[in-house]
Amino acid sequence: MSPNSLIAAAGVAAAGVLAVLRKRTIEDSEVCLLHAPQTAMLADGAELLSVIDAECPSLAGSATARFVPSMALPSADLQTCFSAVRERFGRLALVEYERELITTKDGGTIGLDWSPPLAQMPADERPIVLLSPGLSGGSQETYVQTTVKRLTSEPYNFRTVVVNFRGCAGVKVTTPVLYNGGLTSDYGYAVDHIRGRYPSSKLVGIGYSLGANLVTKYVGEQGEGCPLSAAISVCNPYDLAASSDALEVPTFRNRRIYTPAMLLGLMKLYRRHRKIIETGPVELDVEAISKIKSIRQFDNLITAKLFGYQDGTDYYRKNSCAQFMPAIRVPFLAISAMDDPVCPESIIPREVFRTNPHLILALTKYGGHLGYHEDLSSSWFERPIAEFCAAVFGHASA
């Protein structure tokens, strides 16, 4: 057989293998919903699951409730890393924001990025979606922008606001503390401010990754009195200690990819605001901090010290959102991937989804961590997020 024939044969064989893999991926792409046998009744008397079945095609329906990863990004690591690479080298300005700075009771600063800008959208009663990014992230993250763009476009036309916590997305640190994944007092302050500005608007809160832990913890703490009409969690760690342990496993991708990338953002945050942090009453071990190699070490040496926890384990134990989920009393959608390398599926609190009628878990086989790339320009989770928001706004009390 000639070299050209060999090349052609290899190409045909490779195409065949790809076709088989693609077929298997499509067959495994169904969205699986986990929930209580009887889900909660909404304000207008409709059942939560019935509303999802009727109004959220990306979550219910054998033909439409599917996530099929892009052929260019077939693995969890590629799905996850593409997001990070895009943030570093191809960050886009997809939406226009107007920033409002608010000051907390202790003098801290939170940045609210409104889209459409306040000047372009006069005050009215339209629904508002609050977005809380992941670890050290902000409104500039592409996964946040693409979601904002969908939510503010036809047919939804919602008002959105990204909650940028202390030190994130260019927000100055004005007190000797940063933020953490359980600081619901800051989130609650932002929610109260937004409600005060738009008292007639319904609110839904979305959280991504560590932001999902915080939003979930908040709605659990609020219980029956939650001011949000609903909440959405995307790629939630649920158990901060277990998620940290998963990142401590000495695999190549943990040691060379995930831990360095996540730690880089945290250390930048600390170094950028180190001077004001050092004006506070807490004395940090600067020499030990200079040698930090893991997220757990950061939380032991910085997060726990600044917020008065015994250590990182104490911080994780008191702020992991899973323990607050039984008390959630608003419609709650969680989106997680079984192949998430940062928040493993084993830590998903399945039993609480089976017993709390307000909770719905949308579980996919693929997606990675904050990936969900069907193509190279958008993420699948934007669709179910928008559909769920529209559904609960439509059935919420006036």
Task: Look at residue 194 and tell me whether its pLDDT is greater than 90.
Answer: yes
Q: Tell me: the pLDDT tens digits for 334-355? A: 999 999 999 999 999 999 999 9
Could you give the CA distance from residue 377 to residue 195 in angstroms, rounded to a whole number?
Answer: 33
pLDDT of residue 6: 35
Using pLDDT thresholds of 50, 70 and 90, give the confidence band for residue 398: low
For 133, 192, 305, 343, 383, the CA distances from 80, given in Å and listed in that order, are 15, 34, 31, 12, 19
Q: What is the mean pLDDT of the chain?
A: 91
* Mean pLDDT for the stretch of residues 132-155: 95
Task: Look at residue 174 and tell me whether its pLDDT is greater than 70.
Answer: yes
pLDDT of residue 48: 98
Which residues are part of the catalytic machinery? Answer: 209, 340, 369
Task: Look at residue 90 and tell me whether its pLDDT is greater than 80.
Answer: no
pTM of the model: 0.92
Q: Tell me: the pLDDT tens digits for 50-86? A: 999 999 999 998 789 999 999 999 999 999 998 777 7
Task: Look at residue 8 and tell me whether its pLDDT is greater than 80.
Answer: no
Using pLDDT thresholds of 50, 70 and 90, give the confidence band for residue 7: very low
Could you give the CA distance from residue 69 to residue 114 in angstroms, rounded to a whole number?
Answer: 31
